[in-house]
Structure 1
Amino acid sequence: MAGTTISALMALAFCAVHIFVGKLRFLERTPRSRWLSFAGGVAVGYVFLHILPELGAHAATFEDATGFKAELAEGLVYTLSLVGLALFYGLERALSVSRDQRMANEGRDRPERGVFWLHIAASALLMIVIAYLLNHREDASMGGMILYFAAMMLHFVTADFGTRADHPELYDNKGRWVLAAATMFGWVLGLALDLPEMAIGCLFAFVAGGIVLLVLKEELPEERKSFFWPFLAGALLYAALVLGETHLAAG
């Protein structure tokens, strides 16, 4: 019961980011806010210290469930991650192309509504899976859950900030509520539906690819004018927390 309450509070905190990210005026700076670079560093730390090791663990689950050789099972897991990365890359590219076309034709720095809503729909799918995994994580310890929550909170700040920048009117009017509803739906689904380990592995692998793409997209392009030291501080701080939690759990 306590675990359910904690995961519910975490899901509500995710919703708060979706709903109120537009109120975080200190993020709207040129060059890019140092806080966004710090959050990007934490997200990159999460990719290397959680996502990649957990993909390896899910590969073992695939191997046991399918009877495939270890190399093939591992290849399937990473292929699912590649599919997630490719899907979100395609959506980001569609947004960029649509915005450029509208700027050239209409002088408006906004993507087409249909393209933006397609992006919101894909992001909502990602939110459902991430919220579902609050109740079905490979690392079920409280420390592991807190680290997952912290990394996802900061990831949502950067991802939602970038999504809102594409079309703030649509995001503020309806988009943020769609993402918040998707988050709570995913959390409820996690309570009501207990998927087999292999299915959870598939979901995690897909989400992993999407998160990797979104982290790189938000932090690395030159036009973002990111800050290296806050980015490094975020990555190192998250790494220290993960290593500390691992040491305590083992000791």
Structure 2
Amino acid sequence: MAAAFVAVHVLIGRLTFLDRTPRSAWLSFSGGVAVAYVFLHILPELASHGEIFASALRLEDRLAEAWVYALALTGLALFYGVERAVTVSRSDQRAKGEGDRPESGVFWVHLVTTGSLVAIISYLLNHREDMSASGLAVFFVAMVLHFMTADYGARANHPELYERYGRWVLALASLGGWLLGTLVALPEFGIACLFAFLGGGIILVVMKEELPAERQSRFFPFLIGTVLYAMLVIGETYLVGG
């Protein structure tokens, strides 16, 4: 599964069927899957992690839950700040007549933060709350489609730098996160912190890629992805619960 993540990072530029206007149906489908994952997996798991925070920090349940969501909000705010820096840099570059690309320094900041998110996701292949085979499959499907959407957006911002450096950095982040997960097992509280931070980051990336009007996203592929993945998650939950 980590190797599949690497393949997406390295080969996203060769998936020419994604380069369409209006937005490729596959990208909108992937965005729908990611949104369903946020609402049916991430948000419920964030709520359940309140007990872990309460035990580790010796807090009342409501205060512990607030800390969980505060950490998710931190992830969202951090990635929003980076995405905003990319947008402003592109605008400045256009004003200078230097093309519709962000400055290389801003690109590297964006790449480092994205690589951190990728590494966390790969680490969680080995350490999640639901360690069942079906739970792993649900996580993997959502994340590999999420990477397709996120990497396509990152490459669109600076295709030359992404092809030369970016895809390899993200590939190494995938392998590094997976390898770290095989060697180091964080305590339950540490896993809960990583997942909360990851949740905020994924929510921002999904909304950023699907909601802006200039994306010309397709509603029905988005809806199909959302419904199919929701059915998959609910079915998996039913089977595990049964």
TM-score tier (shorter): over 0.9
The aligned amino acid for 1:82 is L
Is 1:127 the counterpart of 2:118 in the alignment? yes
Aligned Cα RMSD in Å? Answer: 0.6
1:139 Cα shift? 0.6
Q: Report matched runs for 1:83-232 at 5 Å.
A: 83-232=74-223
The aligned amino acid for 2:16 is R
Normalised by the length of structure 1, the TM-score is 0.95
Cα shift readout 1:129-178 (whole Å, capped 9, x = no counterpart): 10000000111110010000000000000000000000000000011000
Q: Distance in 2 between matches of 1:183 and 1:59?
A: 28
Gaps of 5+ in 1: 1-9
1:185 Cα shift? 0.5
Cα shift readout 1:38-69 (whole Å, capped 9, x = no counterpart): 00000000000100011012111111112100
Q: Report matched runs for 1:26-41 at 5 Å.
A: 26-41=17-32
Q: Which residue of 2 aligns with 1:25?
A: 16
Q: Distance in 1 between matches of 2:19 and 2:85?
A: 24
**Off by >2 Å, runs of 4+ in structure 1:** none
Normalised by the length of structure 2, the TM-score is 0.99
Q: How many residues align?
A: 242
Identify which range, 137-146 or 100-109, moves more after superposition.
100-109
Q: Distance in 2 between matches of 1:191 and 1:81?
A: 25
Identify which range, 103-112 or 118-127, moves more after superposition.
103-112
Q: Which residue of 1 aligns with 2:4?
A: 13
Cα shift readout 1:65-115 (whole Å, capped 9, x = no counterpart): 121001110000100000000000000000000001001102411100000
Q: Distance in 2 between matches of 1:203 and 1:176?
A: 23
The aligned amino acid for 2:112 is A
